[in-house]
Amino acid sequence: MHLIMIFTALTVAWCLRSSQTNFEGSWSVRWRRSLFLFLFPPLLIFMTAIAVLCMGPQGNMGGMYTGWFSYVLTLICLAIFDILCIKLAFGGWQSVKSVRNCPLVNLEGKQVRLLNTEALFAGQIGFWHSELVISQGLLETLLPKHLETVFAHEEGHYHYRDTFWFFWLGWVRSCTAWLPNTDTLWQELLILRELRADAYAASRVDPLLLAESLLLVVSTTPISSEIFCAALGSDRLEQRIEALLAQPEPTPKLNFQFWNGFLLAFLPLVSVIFHN
């Protein structure tokens, strides 16, 4: 019976992820759709694994006997998920440790870590309380008015705690890399994250100056660099520039009605009461 539950959860997860990914519409529509398709399938699989673990390897359910095979299979899967989480956490801890070796300087009244490299880089490093890291090359390339827009954009990432939430989303990505459209949805969430930070910055600085800063960074950053691919790829840059030049779109908070859809992923836990 446990194998039937596992097979059903995997089938539903696969079908949901195989559905056509349509990335059209407003920011809020795209965000809700992408986040649901990205999170619901792994949550369903995880809840099924928890249900099997709670029921144990002995007993029966619905007149069908359970066994050790499904139980051991579930333990192996959960162990792999834990290992992937520890691996990502260790990599993040190393990044934080490396950043804290950089000197702390005061720029425009803000405490930032100065990275000694000619590459153009600005980003938040850390988990819940992240730190802003700016490269020496970026300081030498951009004018103060452009640096102000960069600070505003990074402040948006800090405001939404993107480093923390995307750590967990990255863990989900690692655990479900075998599901269809995982990377496609991940890339969509990344661009939406940048669009949200841009919108936050545009409410505090001139959006045209922010767009100009993006173009200046692109014009001096090698296309093959990891930094370029992460946030300034041609398609992403085009979307970000268009969003900055268009009428500002509010980024509403996710309401409880949206999260209600995720309650269906907890249905496997109901099966525990039918196990004896």
What is residue 226's predicted lDDT score, i.e. its pLDDT? 47
Mean pLDDT for the chain overall: 84
Task: Tell me: pLDDT of 64 over 70.
Answer: no
Task: Please say if the pLDDT value at position 46 is more than 90.
Answer: yes
Residue 8 near residue 271, CB atoms below 8 Å:
no
Query: What separation in angstroms does the CA of 101 have from each of 95, 122, 175, 202, 270?
Result: 10, 16, 31, 32, 50
What are 211-241's pLDDT values in tens digits?
A: 998 888 887 765 444 444 455 665 778 888 8
Tell me the pairing of strands 104-107 and 60-61.
unpaired
Quick one: pLDDT at residue 170? 95
131-135 and 122-125 as β-strands: parallel, antiparallel, unpaired? antiparallel
> Which tens digit of pLDDT belongs to each residue from 145-194?
999 999 999 999 999 999 999 999 999 999 999 999 999 999 999 999 99
pLDDT at 233 (0 to 100): 62
pLDDT digits (tens, 9 = 90+) for 92-140: 999 999 888 989 888 877 889 998 888 888 889 999 989 999 989 888 8
- Does residue 86 contact residue 94 with C-beta atoms inside 8 Å? no
Q: Where are the domains of the chain?
A: 2-274
pLDDT > 90 in the chain, percent: 38
SS3 letters across 126-154? CCCCCEEEEEHHHHHHCCHHHHHHHHHHH
Please state which of the ranges 10-14, 69-73, 228-232, 243-247 shows the lowest mean pLDDT.
228-232
> Nearest 5°: phi and psi at 66?
-100, 170
3-state secondary structure (DSSP) of residue 116: coil
59 pLDDT tier (thresholds 50, 70, 90): low
In this prediction, residues 22-28 reach a mean pLDDT of 76
CA distances from 269 to 40, 62, 257 (A): 15, 15, 21
Provide the whole-model pTM: 0.87
What's the token pair of residue 182?
Answer: 């995982």
Q: Which residue has the higher pLDDT, 89 or 274?
A: 89
Of 136-150, 237-251, 258-272, the range with the lowest mean pLDDT is 237-251
At position 259, the amino acid (one-letter code) is: W
Compute CA distances 63 → 4, 15, 53, whole Å: 13, 28, 19
Per-residue pLDDT at 42 exceeds 90: yes
